[in-house]
Amino acid sequence: MANKQAEQYIKEFMDNIIAKNPNEKEFHQAVYEVVESLAPYIVENSALMKMKVLERIAEPERVIMFRVPWVDDKGEIQINKGYRVQMNSAIGPYKGGLRFHSSVNLSILKFLAFEQVFKNSLTTLPMGGGKGGSDFNPKGKSDNEVMRFCQSFMTEFQRHIGQDTDVPAGDIGVGGREIGFMYGQYKRLRNEFTGTLTGKGLGWGGSPLRPEATGYGTCYFAQEMLATKGDSFAGKVVTISGSGNVAQYATEKATQLGAKVVTLSDSAGYIYDPDGIDADKLAYVFELKNVLRGRIKEYADRYPNAKYFPGERPWDVKCDIALPCATQNELNEEEAKTLVANGCICVAEGANMPSTPEAIAVFQNAKILYAPGKASNAGGVATSGLEMTQNSIRLSWTPDEVDAKLNSIMKDIHAACIKYGTEADGYVNYVKGANIAGFLKVANAMLAQGCV
């Protein structure tokens, strides 16, 4: 009976979402995964049904879209789209990253903002959910072009954000350089020095360990997952996708924890280094990606034992642990089957929604450890929350203090997943656990705050 009711609820919910948000397939995908977990719980709870809590969560409180005109180095005018999806503010100011990538559209930002609501709730910190960005492509642009773009973006964006309203940060294509340019323009226009952006430089309001936090946190979370099986990173072979911020620091932490990381990638291909990407080689990757802004292919030119595979993804490389750290839907059903067949025991997502729904089903049916990004990559935004606290109290904590708080938050998120996600046979469904735990706090706040 309850099952039938839940199925009916899911069907009606999704029909409505698809009708009201046509052509937004990433948004549909993210909503479906959550509704599927929550429906059995919601249909048993008349207040949640009556107050249409999940229905309201799936409708952004506000979507802002704007023109971003700027002048390139040749003197030509360029026009990009700017966006901010302010999804939910029930438990705190909107919080979430900005993505600059040519693929950015409303569907992608709505899926990211929706995920962010649950993720931020899981962190235990008082943050609502939002996401924004632009279809601007920073690749191949000069520093001056990036600066002019960031300044134009912020000229409009500044009127919609603030330390108690909406606190953006980085995501794909937005790192320390872009946050610097945007913060400079924000400060100039608003004439205030407040913690309105996170991911700032250490000397001007940034938190120790914010750059490291997402990658480190993903490994801390995976460590907790492995510990449920009496296992650890020591001696394990790890495959990682991406070679940006999250991938770099996941590589660093996994290596520090005793594992051998053998792959990194970008949108053009992946490198396989059978000897492992040790601290020296990783220092080269930092230089290559963050200073020279080069491509991962160059790694194989520098280290002849490594091989470059153009146009491919790293999931057919045999590994014990896989950490997808590039982008959404970068790991499909076939690749998931290959990972399982090759003996992979743990998949923890550093990226947002990197595994397709079919890939997730493969992991869960094989009963291997699998954690969705909203749980395992929450260390980034959690440390952004810690940056907001330090800005508010006008003090800085030491790296050790922040690391200890990050570690303890990841442990708490893991414990919440175990609490709400353990199934009758003892298997931990981290998707279900994260969705229910993340939902409860937001739902209770929304029930208390009435129909808003």
Structure tokens at 137: 């492509």
Query: In the bound complex, what is the minimum distance in angstroms from residue 141's beta carbon to ligand 2IT?
Result: 21
Taking CA atoms, 223 is separated from 86, 105, 403, 411, in Å, by 33, 34, 15, 9
Q: Which is nearer to ligand 2IT, 244 or 380 (CB)?
A: 380
Q: Which is nearer to ligand 2IT, 119 or 260 (CB)?
A: 119
Alpha carbon of residue 233 to chain centroid? 22
Residues ≥6 apart with Cβ < 8 Å to 125? 92, 382, 385, 386, 409
Task: Please identify, among the stretches 7-15, 37-45, 164-172, 254-262, the one whose residues bind ligand NDP according to the rule CB under 6 A.
Answer: 164-172
What values do phi and psi take at 416, rounded to 5?
-65, -40
Which of ligand NDP, ligand 2IT, none binds 96 (CB below 5-8 Å, type-dependent)? ligand 2IT
**224: exposed, middle or buried (Cβ count in 10 Å: 0-12, 13-18, 19+):** buried
Query: In the bound complex, what is the minimum distance in angstroms from residue 8's beta carbon to ligand 2IT?
Result: 33
Query: Phi/psi zone of residue 290: left (φ > 0), alpha (ψ -120 to 50 degrees), beta?
Result: alpha
Task: Please identify, among the stretches 11-19, 50-58, 273-281, 324-332, the one whose residues bind ligand NDP according to the rule CB under 6 A.
Answer: 324-332
The catalytic residues are 131
Task: Please identify, among the stretches 144-152, 172-180, 226-234, 388-396, the one whose residues bind ligand NDP according to the rule CB under 6 A.
Answer: 172-180
Which of ligand 2IT, ligand NDP, none binds 243 (CB below 5-8 Å, type-dependent)? ligand NDP
Q: Which of 188, 177, 186 is nearest to 157 (CA)?
A: 186
Which of ligand NDP, ligand 2IT, none binds 95 (CB below 5-8 Å, type-dependent)? ligand 2IT
Q: What is the rounded CA–CA span in Å between residue 30 and residue 53?
A: 17
290 binds ligand NDP, rule: CB under 6 A? no
Q: Which positions touch ligand 2IT (CB under 6 A)?
A: 95-97, 119, 169, 171, 198, 352, 380-381, 384
324 binds ligand NDP, rule: CB under 6 A? no
Residues ≥6 apart with Cβ < 8 Å to 341? none
133 binds ligand NDP, rule: CB under 6 A? no
243 binds ligand NDP, rule: CB under 6 A? yes
Task: Please identify, among the stretches 48-56, 153-161, 320-328, 359-367, the one whose residues bind ligand NDP according to the rule CB under 6 A.
Answer: 320-328
Q: Which of 75, 129, 24 is nearest to 384 (CA)?
A: 129
